[in-house]
Structure 1
Amino acid sequence: MGIYPKFPDEHLRDNAKTWNIGMLDIERSRRYTDRAKVLKLWEDIDNYISTNKPHLIF
Protein backbone atom coordinates (compact mmCIF):
# COMPACT_ATOMS: atom_id res chain seq x y z
CA MET A 1 0.00 0.00 0.00
CA GLY A 2 1.38 3.36 -0.96
CA ILE A 3 0.29 6.86 -0.01
CA TYR A 4 1.26 10.00 -1.93
CA PRO A 5 0.74 13.13 0.18
CA LYS A 6 0.35 16.32 -1.81
CA PHE A 7 -1.39 19.65 -1.88
CA PRO A 8 -4.43 19.78 -4.21
CA ASP A 9 -2.89 22.52 -6.35
CA GLU A 10 0.29 20.51 -6.99
CA HIS A 11 0.63 18.30 -10.04
CA LEU A 12 1.68 14.69 -9.78
CA ARG A 13 5.12 13.75 -10.93
CA ASP A 14 5.06 11.83 -14.18
CA ASN A 15 6.40 8.63 -12.65
CA ALA A 16 3.92 8.79 -9.74
CA LYS A 17 1.00 8.57 -12.16
CA THR A 18 1.98 4.99 -12.99
CA TRP A 19 2.23 3.84 -9.36
CA ASN A 20 -0.56 1.93 -7.66
CA ILE A 21 -0.92 4.37 -4.76
CA GLY A 22 -3.56 6.38 -2.97
CA MET A 23 -3.53 10.15 -3.00
CA LEU A 24 -3.66 12.10 0.24
CA ASP A 25 -4.59 15.71 -0.47
CA ILE A 26 -3.53 18.06 2.32
CA GLU A 27 -5.36 21.36 2.25
CA ARG A 28 -3.19 24.43 2.73
CA SER A 29 -5.94 26.73 3.92
CA ARG A 30 -8.22 24.19 5.65
CA ARG A 31 -5.84 22.62 8.14
CA TYR A 32 -8.73 21.76 10.43
CA THR A 33 -9.46 18.85 8.06
CA ASP A 34 -6.12 17.19 8.88
CA ARG A 35 -7.52 15.10 11.72
CA ALA A 36 -10.26 13.59 9.56
CA LYS A 37 -7.76 12.80 6.81
CA VAL A 38 -5.38 11.10 9.25
CA LEU A 39 -8.22 9.02 10.68
CA LYS A 40 -9.22 7.96 7.16
CA LEU A 41 -5.58 7.12 6.39
CA TRP A 42 -5.33 4.80 9.42
CA GLU A 43 -8.66 3.20 8.52
CA ASP A 44 -7.35 2.48 5.02
CA ILE A 45 -4.13 1.04 6.45
CA ASP A 46 -6.07 -1.20 8.86
CA ASN A 47 -8.30 -2.43 6.03
CA TYR A 48 -5.29 -3.15 3.83
CA ILE A 49 -3.53 -5.10 6.56
CA SER A 50 -6.59 -7.14 7.46
CA THR A 51 -7.18 -8.00 3.79
CA ASN A 52 -3.64 -8.51 2.48
CA LYS A 53 -1.48 -9.20 5.55
CA PRO A 54 -3.68 -10.95 8.15
CA HIS A 55 -0.64 -12.50 9.84
CA LEU A 56 0.31 -8.99 11.06
CA ILE A 57 -2.88 -8.54 13.08
CA PHE A 58 -2.43 -9.18 16.78
Structure 2
Amino acid sequence: MSVNGEVLNTTDGLLYFKYWIENTICKNKDIRFVNCSKGARIKGTYEMELLDAISKYC
Protein backbone atom coordinates (compact mmCIF):
# COMPACT_ATOMS: atom_id res chain seq x y z
CA MET A 1 0.00 0.00 0.00
CA SER A 2 1.33 3.44 -0.88
CA VAL A 3 1.16 6.58 1.24
CA ASN A 4 -1.61 7.86 -1.04
CA GLY A 5 -3.68 4.68 -0.70
CA GLU A 6 -2.83 2.98 -3.98
CA VAL A 7 -1.79 -0.67 -4.19
CA LEU A 8 1.88 -0.98 -5.16
CA ASN A 9 3.47 -3.82 -7.10
CA THR A 10 6.89 -4.77 -5.76
CA THR A 11 9.48 -7.52 -5.61
CA ASP A 12 9.96 -10.03 -2.81
CA GLY A 13 13.30 -8.38 -2.02
CA LEU A 14 11.84 -4.92 -1.54
CA LEU A 15 8.97 -6.31 0.51
CA TYR A 16 11.45 -8.12 2.76
CA PHE A 17 13.39 -4.85 3.16
CA LYS A 18 10.15 -3.04 4.12
CA TYR A 19 9.44 -5.66 6.81
CA TRP A 20 13.01 -5.32 8.08
CA ILE A 21 12.59 -1.53 8.36
CA GLU A 22 9.27 -1.95 10.19
CA ASN A 23 10.87 -4.42 12.60
CA THR A 24 13.74 -2.00 13.26
CA ILE A 25 11.26 0.82 13.92
CA CYS A 26 9.34 -1.40 16.34
CA LYS A 27 12.54 -2.08 18.32
CA ASN A 28 13.37 1.67 18.58
CA LYS A 29 10.25 3.20 20.12
CA ASP A 30 12.23 6.15 21.48
CA ILE A 31 13.02 7.37 17.95
CA ARG A 32 10.50 9.16 15.72
CA PHE A 33 10.71 7.88 12.16
CA VAL A 34 9.30 10.11 9.41
CA ASN A 35 8.31 8.79 5.99
CA CYS A 36 8.64 11.60 3.45
CA SER A 37 8.50 9.32 0.45
CA LYS A 38 5.83 9.09 -2.20
CA GLY A 39 6.17 5.30 -2.05
CA ALA A 40 5.21 2.61 0.41
CA ARG A 41 3.37 3.12 3.67
CA ILE A 42 5.73 2.00 6.43
CA LYS A 43 4.22 0.84 9.72
CA GLY A 44 5.44 2.89 12.68
CA THR A 45 6.34 6.03 10.73
CA TYR A 46 4.82 9.48 10.63
CA GLU A 47 3.95 10.45 7.08
CA MET A 48 4.52 14.04 6.00
CA GLU A 49 5.91 16.14 3.19
CA LEU A 50 9.69 16.59 3.21
CA LEU A 51 9.56 20.39 3.60
CA ASP A 52 7.15 20.02 6.53
CA ALA A 53 9.50 17.53 8.21
CA ILE A 54 12.49 19.83 7.68
CA SER A 55 10.69 22.82 9.16
CA LYS A 56 9.35 20.79 12.09
CA TYR A 57 12.43 18.77 13.07
CA CYS A 58 15.43 20.82 11.90
TM-score bracket, shorter-length normalisation: 0.3 to 0.5
Higher strand share: 1
Greater C-alpha Rg? 1
TM-score, normalised relative to structure 1: 0.36
Q: Give the TM-score taking structure 2 as reference length.
A: 0.36
Higher helix proportion (structure 1 or 2): 1
